[in-house]
């Protein structure tokens, strides 16, 4: 799920900074990352994500178990490459929350985002289930995903992006304003150098 904010003139500022003061780009990235941390986005994600599984079916030791959120990373992309045809913008800040050991958090966070029709069979083999398995180890999908989504909506009462996205979105204005301030400061530096 994406949260978008428009910044005008960034590409020109970056191009000039690369020529006049190349080290400034690294500093700008670092300052924007500090804005995200300072806005409390990372701590909000950790606070909003329960440490105990939201559903009893996620209390197991398999790959899809609940483990909460283990890491929240922020990356800042300041690039001057040409955009693809028809592309009007590109992301500057990317915040990724994950649990590297268990998929339960990612499943619960994104359950309900469906870009295509559900499959008839699972994509990856599941050797722990019997009865509906085929020779390749996949299992029949008979509405388990829809049931999972419904239970999450009943218990948590929210659309996809239940934990991390909602937490970051609540800090969006602070992140936008802080990042804009950093970018404006550097644009001002560029203007001073060019005078």
d(CA 26, CA 5): 21
Question: Does pTM surpass 0.85?
Answer: no
List the one residue out of 79, 35, 37 whose CA is nearest residue 185.
Answer: 35
- Mean pLDDT is lowest, of 61-75, 125-139, 164-178, for 125-139
The size of the chain, in residues, is 195
Cβ atoms of 58 and 103 closer than 8 Å: no
- Model confidence pLDDT, tens digit, residues 37-51: 999 999 999 999 998
- Model confidence pLDDT, tens digit, residues 69-126: 999 999 998 875 555 666 666 778 899 999 888 889 998 999 888 766 667 776 655 5
Tokens found for residue 181: 């301030």
């Amino acid at each position: 799920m994406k949260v978008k904010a428009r910044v005008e003139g960034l590409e020109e500022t970056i191009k000039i900074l690369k020529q006049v003061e190349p080290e400034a780009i690294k500093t700008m990235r670092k300052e924007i990352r500090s804005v995200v941390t300072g806005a409390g986005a990372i701590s909000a994600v950790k606070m909003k994500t329960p440490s105990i599984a939201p559903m009893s079916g996620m209390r197991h030791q398999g790959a899809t178990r609940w483990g909460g959120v283990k890491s929240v990373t922020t990356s800042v992309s300041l690039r001057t490459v040409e955009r693809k045809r028809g592309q009007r913008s590109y992301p500057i800040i990317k915040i990724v929350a994950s649990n590297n050991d268990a998929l339960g958090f990612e499943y619960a966070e994104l359950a309900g985002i469906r870009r295509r029709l559900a499959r008839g069979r699972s994509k990856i083999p599941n050797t722990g289930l019997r009865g509906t398995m085929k020779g390749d180890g996949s299992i029949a999908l008979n509405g388990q995903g829809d049931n999972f989504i419904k239970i999450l909506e009943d218990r948590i009462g929210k659309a996809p992006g239940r934990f991390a996205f909602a937490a970051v979105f609540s800090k969006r204005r602070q992140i936008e304003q802080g990042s804009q301030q950093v970018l404006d400061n550097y644009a001002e530096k560029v203007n001073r150098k060019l005078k």
